[in-house]
Amino acid sequence: MTRVKRGTTTAKTRRNVLAQVKGYRFGRSKKEIQANDAIAHAGAYAFAHRRDKKNDFRRLWNVKVNAALRPLGFSYSKFIGALKAKGIILDRKILALLAEKNPETFANIVKEVK
């Protein structure tokens, strides 16, 4: 069997790994083993947090809608319940956008629900 020298391939892999962790602190940006570990963790966190981001935005929309409802004499939970009872199909994202950008339109929706 012929001899295969893998120096260039190994160097390329190492270069790519270290390029991925550029900007990380301490040994994680300099040492190959620590860098590989850092990449694995970063990927796991990125995967989980892509899903968490959806929950974070839903919470933010709820807060925005609730903040707009309080001066109009409504609470968030009562408003959502009333929306469903009336059969008005608006999701929280749209409600939050209306509450923030078009308060008069949002007030009309609240009047419709009352």
Question: pTM of the entire structure?
Answer: 0.75
How high does pLDDT run on average in the chain? 95
Domain ranges of the chain: 7-113
Whether the predicted pLDDT of 114 surpasses 90 = no
| Average pLDDT over every residue of 29-55 | 97
> Tell me: the pLDDT tens digits for 66-81?
999 999 999 999 999 9
Are 23 and 29 contacting, i.e. CB atoms less than 8 angstroms apart?
Answer: yes
Assigned architecture for domain 7-113: Orthogonal Bundle (1.10)
